[in-house]
Every structure is written in C-alpha cells, then in structure tokens.
Structure 1
Amino acid sequence: MHAALHHAWLVLEPWRAALAWAWVVYAIWLAVWIVLQKRSPVSTLTWVITLVLMPVLGLLIYRVFGPQRIKRQNLRRSRSEDAFIDKADVRTLLRQREEAPDWARAHSTLIERACGLPMSSCHSARYLQNGHATLEALLEAIGQAQHHIHLEYYIFEHDESGKAVLQALHRKASQGVKVRLLVDAVGSPLLSGRRGKAVLKALLDAGGEFSVFHPTRFDRHRPLVNLRSHRKIAIIDGRIGFTGGINVCDTENERVNPDTAFRDTHLRLEGAVVSWLQYLFVQDWVYATQQGLTSGDLFVAQAPGPIHAQVVASGPDSPAQAIHRAMIDTIDQAEERVWLVTPYFVPTEPALTALTNAALRGVDVRIMVPRMSDSRVVTWAARSYYDELTRVGAQIYEYGPRMLHAKTLLADHRIAHIGTANFDYRSFMLNFELSVVLFDEPANHDLARMFEADAAQCTRVPRRRELPFLPRLAEASARLLAPLL
C-alpha cells in the first residue's frame, strides 16, 4: 500500500509542479491587476491576500464584492451638462448658486471642487424622525404635486408602506402628473424582478415611468453587490425635496412595527437647494434609462432662502470621495463638539485619525451606533475601534434595543450633515450616496437635541473593556475585513 501511494505521488509530481507555477503566475498577475487600481494600501493588501489564498473562490468573491470603478459613459462630470439637461435648466441651476458665509467658505469650496455642486440655500429644512412621520410627510407632498414626482430609493418594498406610496403615485399619474420611480436592483428585488411588472402595472398603465439602477447580473462592467444607488431622493414639482436614511418599507415604519422599527432620521427641504437633489436624480435616471430627460421645466427658479445648504454627492464613478472628504474636513475644523450617528461604523484610517485628533484637541467627540446592527460582523468590526477612541477621550454610545439607522454628523454649533451615507468604506467608496450640509445654527441645535434624546436610550461604552479571548478575536478578525464591509 505504501509503495502504491509513493508511486502515485511520483506520477503526479509533474502536475504538482505545473499547478505550483500556475498559482505563482496567477498570484503575480492578480497582484499587479489590483495594485494598478491604486486603492488604499490596506484595501489592496486585503484583496491580494484574499484572492491569492482562495484562487477560484477569491475571484468569485471579488466579482461580487470587489471595489472596481465604473464609468458613467454618458454622465461623466467632465462632459457638458447639455448631454442630459436642457440649456434653460442649466441657466436656472446656475442662478441657484449662493455665496458661502465667510466662516464656511473653505468647507464649501472643498465640497464643490470634490463633487461639482455649489453652495445653495433653502427656505425650510425640517427633520423627520422615524419612518411613519416621513411616510406621512411624503404622502402629503405627493398629494400636492401639480407637475412631476421623482422618487429614487435603495429599498422600496411592496408592503403596507410601499403600497401606500404606489397608490398615491397612481392617483397623481392618473391626473396627468409625470411620475418617475427609480429603485436599486439589490435593495428592491421585488420591484426590479419579474414580479415587478405586475406590482407596478396600475402605475405604468396610468402613464408612470419606472427604471432600475444596475440590474443584478454578472457582466464585465460591475460586480453584483457594490456600485449600488444607496440614495433616497424624493422631488415634488422641483420645490419640495426629501432625503436621509429612511427607505420605503415597513421595517422603518413604527406604526406598523412599533417594537422593532428602525430609529432613523430624514430631511424635508423647500427652496433652491432642491434643484441640486433634482440634478442628481436626473443624472441617475438618464444613466439608468439611457434616455435623455431634457424637458426644460424640471428646475424651478427660486428666491434665496435664509438657510445656507449644500448637497454633497459621491460614487464609484469619481475618485474624489466627496462625502468622505467633507466629513473628515468637518471633523478637522471642529473646535467644540463632533457628534456622529451612524448604523455602520467602519471608519477609514483618515476618518479614524480625524476623530482621534479631534478628541486629542479637547473637542467633545461622541459617536452613537446600534448596540447590535443587522450585521454581526459589522458590529464586531465597529467595536474593534472602541478602545483607541475611548483612550483619547471620545465617548461611544450604543443605542438599543431597536436598530439605529440614522446617518448624521454635527460640528460645533453651525454645521449639520444628514444624508444616506454610513460612516464606512462602502458608503465612502463603493456606493452612490448623497448628503446635505446645513450651515445653520437652529438646524445644528435641533440635531443636537435629537442626539441627546437618543442618548437616553443608549448604553455608554466604558473606557476600558475587559473582554474574554473569543470576543476580542472576533472583533480583531472582523476589523481585517473593514475594506470589504
């Protein structure tokens, strides 16, 4: 028996050598390919090690989760806006530009140079807490629509909340209002799948339009999970706009699920800044449909409002990482306080450094995260950062028992960020996101009061955590996956 095994081993020796050389060539080719993408060293090394150690499975994982860039062939910002916006609309947009106050000029300039969207203003900026209040405000605005309704959502379910919105859209489409609904394929699988046509039939028969952002299929352009539109945008007649963390689903509607609905925050806007939400919707709609949308009446000229506001947009079609830069710059400029709320806290190295630097400067740094998010691995990864943050004086609050899904950041007493982006690699680099920055004391103070009210539902993380070996290992291991989460 031993002799037979030895003979078989000798017979297979040439094949073993060939496989070894094939693996070496594969590893070198793979490393060069990923290095040429010029990602961060941590992300690059993580992917190289993962793919080299798992030759076949690793490539599949990369196709599903990998951070490839894409090009929006028709919508590169370096090209003229005439490709998808009427010239009259461009002139209207340019009139919406405002001069930033002196104290905000540097921050506003950074945002504009990173994403091309200038300072604007609004007459009203109202926070909406949780899904039911947001749904009611959205339905009220839809009911008032006279010209058009534009909706873009990551998650749009066909449940009680979703049906209410679809019925409202159907009524307005039947009255001649132009309705356009754009959903992400991964976030809204029912509407974007085969059953979607039946669900949307009434709306489509009434003249409504529907499209899907990045249908879920493997192809040479994109992986399955990344490059999603994580944006939540609602535009009513170009005058009222909504954005924030809340999707259209019962999971976030406390009237339907009073004990388990997510704690979340949304924003209702009126005024000129809504035109820049419209601008992003039109970009995404034209990209998804490959059809122009140059009606010439989508952008409404509006008088300046008392609140300075600026939209920040980012996505994997641009290397600028505008939201990432805007948040870091906000933290770097803070002198008194930085209060961050995020459901997924997996900071990049620059973002983590900004937070620890602020704490070391004596800034009141507070970070609120869910006690247990809907991803256990993300929760472990988030906790792996606790010790280095609390060590320099930052305070960390874990919200529970409900899932915390709000995405807000305030600095000192005059800057407030609210939007769709989590404080993690995926939102900063892999998905299409947006945020609104309000340069306004009342908006900042309202957000601070919400933070303090939510803190009553939190457990504060102690400065020193004594953890058994297995939890410490789980956190440390999850942190290695940070660029993938």
Structure 2
Amino acid sequence: MSLITWLIIIILVLNTTGAIFTVLREVRDISTTWAWLLVLIFLPIIGFGFYLFAGRGLSTKKLRRIQREYESGVKAFVSLQKHENARNKLLPPTDYTPAAKALTAFFLNTAQAPVLAHNQVQLYTDGEKKFAALFRDIESAKHYIYVEYYTIYNDELGNQFQQLLIKKAKQGVTVKVLYDAWGSMGASAKWWRRLTDVGGQVESYFSSKHPITDFRLNYRDHRKIVVIDDHVGYIGGFNVGDQYVSRKPKFGYWRDTHLRIIGNTIYALKIRFTMDWNATVGEKDEIAYNVEQDSPEGQSGEGMTAGSTPIQIVASGPDRPTQQIKLGYTKLITSATKSVWIQSPYLVPDDTVIDALVSAAMSGIDVRIMIPDMPDHPFIFRATQYYATYLARAGVKIYHYQHGFMHAKTVVVDDAIASVGSANFDIRSFKLNFEVNAFIYDRKVAGTLAEIFEADMKQSYLLTPAIIASQSRWLRFKQDFSRLLSPIL
C-alpha cells in the first residue's frame, strides 16, 4: 500500500478511537451518543470542531454555582409555598381535576414549584401590543426592573428598550439585565456600556473570560422573564428585537404568545430570576432572597381574568437530572380526556413524548399540533417536517401556520389546563436549554388559548396524506438525514 493509503488508515483509526473516547467520557442517553458518534466518525477532524462547539457539557465549576443557587432558591420557594398555603386553597374546587392535582403534585415534588393563586393574566399574541404594555410598566417602575431574555438585539426595538432602561436607571431605579451571549449576538459589551455607565447592571449568562476556548452552542439561557417592583411580571415566547414586532421581511408577521401577570406568581418569577442572576455574578453583586408577606394588589384590565388564576412557574435545564417541563408536557398529554392542542416553532420530540402523542391520538383524543410553514433553522425545520409527517400518519392533526412565523410555545389540554413559556417541543428545550414555563389552572385562560388556536387554524393548512405523498425524494432525504441529528440539533 502507498504512503497516502497508510496515512488515511491511520487517520481513520485515530479518528474513530478519539470519537469513541470523546463521546463515552460524558454520560448521555443512547440516541445522543449514537448521533455524536455518527458526526465524529463520518466527518473526520471537522466533526471534532463541531463537537467543541456543540457537544461539550457544562463545566463542574458552573454546575456548582447553579447547584448553590438552586439550594438557596428552593428554600425561598418552600417559604413562599408555606405562606401561600396558609393564605389560600391551592386550586378552586371546580378546577381541581385529577389531572390538575397530579400535575401540581409532580411539579411541587420535582421542581419545588408552589401553586400560587390570586393572579390576573393578560395574553399577548402580537409583539407591538406586548412591548407597548411592557414599556408602560417599565415607565411606571419605582424600585427595580429585572430582565432576563435569550435574545436582546442591537436594533431599533433593542435600542428603544435599552434607552428606556437607561432612563429608569438615571432615575435611581435598580436595573438588572441578564441575557444570553449566543442569542444576543450584536449586543456587545460596548453597546451595553450606555446602561452600565448610568448604574444599570448587565450580565451575560455564564459569560466566560475565555470566550474562544469555552464557547459552546448548548446550555443556553432560553428563559424570558421580566419582573417589576413586586407588582407585575412577564413570561412567554417573545424576545427583544425587530423581528419580534414583525419588522423583518424574512419572517413577516411574528406570531407568539406571552403573559403579563399581576399577582402572587410574580414572586416565583422573582425567585427564578434571582437564582439565575446569582449563579452568574460575583458574590458582591448577588440579590438577597426575600419572600414578601403580602401579595400585590390586583388590577383589572382589558382581557384579564378576575384575579383568581392559579399558576405554577416551572423551570428546567441541564443542571437537573429530571426534565421537569418535558415530563410535565407528557403528564398533560397522557391525562387528556378530550383534547391536546400544541403550538411550537420546532417539533423534534424524543421517544417518550412521541409515544404519549401517538397513544393519545389512537385513544380518540383530539391531538392538534401547529408549526410554522417556514424555516428559521434549516436542519431543525427539516427534522420538524419529518416528525410532523410521522405523527400525522399516526392520527395527529398537524397544521402549518402560513401567516408569518409561528413562535408560540403553548399547550392546552381539555380546555382546562394550559402552559405558556419559553420551552419548545424539541429535545433542545427538554434537556439542553435553561427554560421556564407557566402552567395555568384556569378554564377561562385555557379557553382563551383554545380560541386563539382556532383563529390561527384559519391561517394554516392541514397536513394531509396527499400532501405527504407529493413530497419529493430529495425532500424526504433531507428530512430523514435531519432526523438522525435530532438529538443534538
């Protein structure tokens, strides 16, 4: 054999050995392990570069910091729970269904998430209206503004948002901003200096002093939380940027879902932000945990409930062994007696969720899933198409939203229980990202979300057997290939 042949053999042997060692040195599920072996073996050298970017786990130091704050946060949640139990019944008897009882107990045991009653909820599906409300609340802030977003862009809306925070910081309001560096490309330290120079505090979630050697795609802070003055909180799917207010021609109309909450739940949002902030900053900049003894006074408003909505704020992330939000979704699906309606920009579920959806559909449950009809990430879009086809063949009704980009992350079960938050219906949200959702036990709110779903159906088309049969072989190949990478997308 020639020298070149020997070199190729040596490279392949070393590459394969290195791939096996690299992948097996961290504990992963079998599907993820095989996906990474596929990448590393069939993309010699290049695959290892991709692994450094997207495959490494969290460092031990970072995990310790998260664990320390988790323990402190749990104590605060327990205090909040005891206070709430002393004041209120957890759920109104009419809504305390067996499914609700099981789900609240599950989240209480796995996520230390108390059920907090006496909330008013306003739903936003339009970015302009959501940010108009948020900006009004920021304008009214007198004590503090806590902000946590995956994406804050240096664009027209982002600068408008920043200028408002600068104005409040100059007025003496405490302003703290936590953002994700990967999701907020363009929002540089220089750009943020305009806020920090007037007293605001800005941190990138788990920023590194060595961004080149420690940069990774996974383990992103995908949460979207705003808390203002122990008075109002926001949670949902909208980030901060022009595309989220439909100013980007690429996406057209941006369809999302977000909650504005007044009531006891804002304390859970405040604790969640505090945990994330303290895990990121130095000790001198930490926020003290302080569970208030009086819930905020309710305010009525257009589109709001009467102040009786019970909510659980549930977070999940790669720092915890239990995938709380995914398992919560699964419990919701398996507990359904009538309907399961889901909206998500990405549909890349694991086997557990697939089995739950298929089992529900085959049991006569009305299972509907709405996804966008346009991509924002090519591989994820093709993988979403693959699973949409698979589930459609199993009896799940798949709707492709055509009026712009569908970015909402909502689940409505039996018009009685609902979830709105940051977690998509994909493996990345289930196990690789830090996420937070509001699980809502209110028939009025759930019914409103169901009505919104039905309105969105008028802007969508149903995936039928004829459409599936018309797909080209090349399209099916791209879907099949993307599906192989689904555990690491």
In the alignment, what sits opposite 2:487? 483
Shift in alpha-carbon separation, 1:468–1:202, aligned structure 2, 3 A: closer
Q: CA deviation at 1:256?
A: 8.0
Deviation string, structure 1 residues 257-291 (Cα, Å, up to 9, x no partner): 79813111111011111111111111111112133
Output aligned runs, 1:78-227, within 5 Å: 80-81=71-72, 91=79, 94-96=82-84, 99-100=90-91, 101=96, 103=98, 104-191=100-187, 193=188, 196-197=189-190, 199-215=191-207, 223-227=215-219
State whether structure 2 residue 65 is matched by structure 1 residue 61: no
Please, which moves more after superposition, 393-402 or 87-96? 87-96
Mapped partners of 1:240, 1:255: distance in 2 = 27
Mapped partners of 1:228, 1:143: distance in 2 = 29
Output aligned runs, 1:22-61, within 5 Å: 22-23=14-15, 25-34=17-26, 37=27, 39-61=28-50
In the alignment, what sits opposite 1:448? 450
Retained in 2: the 8 A contact 1:111–1:326? yes
SS of residue in 2 equivalent to 1:247: coil
Retained in 1: the 8 A contact 2:69–2:278? no
Query: Could you tell me which amino acid in structure 2 is paired with residue 42 of structure 1?
Result: S
Retained in 2: the 8 A contact 1:186–1:216? no
Query: Could you tell me which amino acid in structure 2 is paired with residue 277 of structure 1?
Result: L
RMSD over aligned Cα atoms: 2.8
SS of residue in 2 equivalent to 1:434: strand
Mapped partners of 1:136, 1:263: distance in 2 = 16
> Structure 1 stretches of 5 or more lacking a match?
1-5
Deviation string, structure 1 residues 110-141 (Cα, Å, up to 9, x no partner): 12222222211242011111211110010111
The structure 2 residue matched to 1:412, chosen from 392, 407, 414, is: 414
Mapped partners of 1:254, 1:25: distance in 2 = 49
In the alignment, what sits opposite 2:399? 397
Query: Could you tell me which amino acid in structure 2 is paired with residue 389 of structure 1?
Result: L
In the alignment, what sits opposite 1:246? 238
The structure 1 residue matched to 2:256, chosen from 255, 264, 272, is: 264
Retained in 2: the 8 A contact 1:67–1:430? no
The count of corresponding residues between Structure 1 and Structure 2 is 467
Query: Could you tell me which amino acid in structure 2 is paired with residue 403 of structure 1?
Result: F
In the alignment, what sits opposite 1:233? 225
State whether structure 2 residue 341 is matched by structure 1 residue 339: yes
Q: CA deviation at 1:398?
A: 0.4
Which is higher, the Rg of structure 1 or of structure 2? 1
Mapped partners of 2:387, 2:251: distance in 1 = 29
Retained in 2: the 8 A contact 1:417–1:436? yes
Mapped partners of 1:65, 1:434: distance in 2 = 22
SS of residue in 1 equivalent to 2:370: strand
SS of residue in 2 equivalent to 1:72: helix
Mapped partners of 2:112, 2:133: distance in 1 = 30
Deviation string, structure 1 residues 117-169 (Cα, Å, up to 9, x no partner): 22112420111112111100101111111110000111111222122222221
Mapped partners of 2:217, 2:480: distance in 1 = 24
Query: Could you tell me which amino acid in structure 1 is paired with residue 141 of structure 2?
Result: A
Query: Could you tell me which amino acid in structure 2 is paired with residue 166 of structure 1?
Result: Q
Q: CA deviation at 1:203?
A: 2.4
Give the alignment's TM-score, normalised by structure 1.
Answer: 0.89
SS of residue in 2 equivalent to 1:74: helix
Q: CA deviation at 1:293?
A: 2.8
SS of residue in 1 equivalent to 2:286: coil
Deviation string, structure 1 residues 1-29 (Cα, Å, up to 9, x no partner): xxxxx7xx2x6787677556534543442
Mapped partners of 1:300, 1:351: distance in 2 = 39
> Structure 2 stretches of 5 or more lacking a match?
298-306
Retained in 2: the 8 A contact 1:51–1:59? yes
Retained in 1: the 8 A contact 2:15–2:45? no
SS of residue in 1 equivalent to 2:141: coil
In the alignment, what sits opposite 1:75? 66
Query: Could you tell me which amino acid in structure 2 is paired with residue 475 of structure 1?
Result: Q
Q: CA deviation at 1:474?
A: 1.4
SS of residue in 1 equivalent to 2:405: coil
In the alignment, what sits opposite 1:469? 473
Retained in 1: the 8 A contact 2:81–2:114? no
SS of residue in 2 equivalent to 1:189: coil
Mapped partners of 2:216, 2:43: distance in 1 = 19
Mapped partners of 2:121, 2:321: distance in 1 = 30
In the alignment, what sits opposite 1:354? 356
Retained in 2: the 8 A contact 1:390–1:396? yes
Retained in 2: the 8 A contact 1:246–1:264? yes
Retained in 1: the 8 A contact 2:111–2:314? yes
Mapped partners of 1:124, 1:331: distance in 2 = 26
Deviation string, structure 1 residues 37-81 (Cα, Å, up to 9, x no partner): 1x2221111112221333422221112111624543233169641
Query: Could you tell me which amino acid in structure 2 is paired with residue 99 of structure 1?
Result: L
